[in-house]
């Protein structure tokens, strides 16, 4: 057991070093250049154990600056249902500059509390928007998508450039369950609508362990029952600024956004402690 932990620790250190050299993120405010999209937690298997003296990480994700990059999107189809324009859902700022829908996680945890097993998680399409905008799904959980609008929606999920699922729902109240095999790999799946609603966007985050949290309307998050140890805490937020538009017959067919934001911090959790970790997000 001791040798196994030493081996895992050495491997973890090596992977963290390589990730630092190759990926674009911030560690304690220092920008590092490159890109490596393989999540560290996907490289090392997670082991469920009983945690009796766990600590907690709490904090807030705050915007540094104004919200001028949060653009309005013109609605050019199904206006009776969708309206005439929508503010981009990709940046929601609440009290004291807190940012909603950032994902905070432990990037380097090898073992800890059990991953909750849920029978099904619901994603709703209502007034031409995804609710919730960002949703966390444990590996092996079913995703049920429902259309609450009286128009056709076509939900297309992408992992990077790879299509994961693509379903059409022309009927109000229609429900479709995404198979477990399509959600078996940890990672982020970007959602869009192929039925002429390019302003619709959302994210499904498939997770291999329970130490993930989506910030609330004021940017608050909490990770609890963490085994004592040293960890990397990662804050992820989707890209906000529209960098390009694909046009068709004078209308926007697709919005292209900047790359997501990632900030990482090292933290030490001691037994039965509460560790404050805050993040500042500066827009590009």
209-233 per-position pLDDT tens digit:
999 999 999 999 999 999 999 999 9
CATH number at residue 34: 2.60.40.420
Q: DSSP character for 95?
A: G
Measure the CA–CA gap between 99 and 216, rounded to whole angstroms.
8
Question: How many domains does the chain fold into?
Answer: 1
How confident is the model over 42-65, as a mean pLDDT? Answer: 90
Where is 13: in which H helix or E strand? helix 2-22
239-248 per-position pLDDT tens digit:
999 999 999 9
Name the pTM for this structure. 0.84
Cα separation values, 21 from 10, 18, 32, 40, 226, Å: 17, 5, 7, 14, 27
Question: What average pLDDT does the structure give for the chain?
Answer: 86
Q: Provide the 10 A C-beta neighbour count for residue 264.
A: 22
Using alpha carbons only, what angle is made at residue 263 by residues 261 and 267, rounded to the nearest 5 degrees?
160
256 CB-near residues (< 8 Å, 6+ apart): 242, 243, 244, 245, 246
- Beta-bridge partner residues of 203: 134, 190
- Whether a cis peptide bond, with omega within 30° of 0, leads into 132 is yes
How confident is the model over 27-45, as a mean pLDDT? Answer: 43
Check if the beta carbon of residue 195 is closer than 8 Å to that of residue 156.
no
Q: Which domain holds residue 144?
A: 2-282
From the list 281, 223, 259, 284, the residue with the least C-alpha distance to 97 is: 281
From the list 16, 72, 83, 75, the residue with the least C-alpha distance to 265 is: 16
């Amino acid at each position: 057991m001791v040798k196994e932990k030493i081996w895992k620790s050495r491997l973890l250190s090596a992977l963290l070093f390589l990730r630092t050299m190759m990926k674009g993120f911030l560690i304690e405010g220092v920008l590092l250049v490159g890109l490596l999209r393989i999540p560290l937690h996907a490289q090392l298997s997670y082991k469920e154990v009983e945690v009796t003296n766990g600590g907690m990480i709490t904090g807030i994700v705050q915007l540094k600056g104004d919200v001028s990059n949060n653009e309005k999107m013109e609605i050019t189809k199904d206006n009776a249902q969708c309206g005439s324009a929508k503010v981009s859902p990709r940046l929601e700022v609440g009290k004291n500059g807190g940012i909603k829908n950032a994902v905070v996680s432990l990037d380097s945890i090898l073992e800890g509390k059990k991953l909750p097993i849920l029978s099904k998680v619901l994603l709703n399409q209502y007034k031409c928007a995804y609710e919730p905008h960002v949703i966390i799904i444990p590996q092996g959980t079913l995703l049920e998508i429902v259309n609450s609008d009286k128009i056709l929606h076509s939900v297309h999920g992408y992992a990077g450039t790879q299509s994961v699922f693509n379903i059409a729902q022309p009927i109000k109240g229609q429900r479709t369950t995404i198979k477990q095999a399509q959600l078996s790999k940890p990672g982020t799946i970007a959602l869009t609508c192929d039925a002429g609603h390019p302003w619709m966007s959302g994210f499904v985050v498939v997770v291999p362990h329970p130490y993930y949290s989506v910030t609330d309307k004021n940017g608050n998050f909490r990770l609890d029952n963490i085994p004592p140890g040293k960890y990397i805490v990662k804050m992820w937020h989707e890209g906000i600024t529209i960098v390009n538009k694909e046009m068709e017959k004078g209308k926007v067919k697709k919005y292209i956004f900047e790359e997501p934001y990632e900030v990482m911090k090292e933290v030490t959790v001691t037994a039965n402690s509460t560790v404050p970790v805050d993040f500042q997000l500066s827009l590009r």
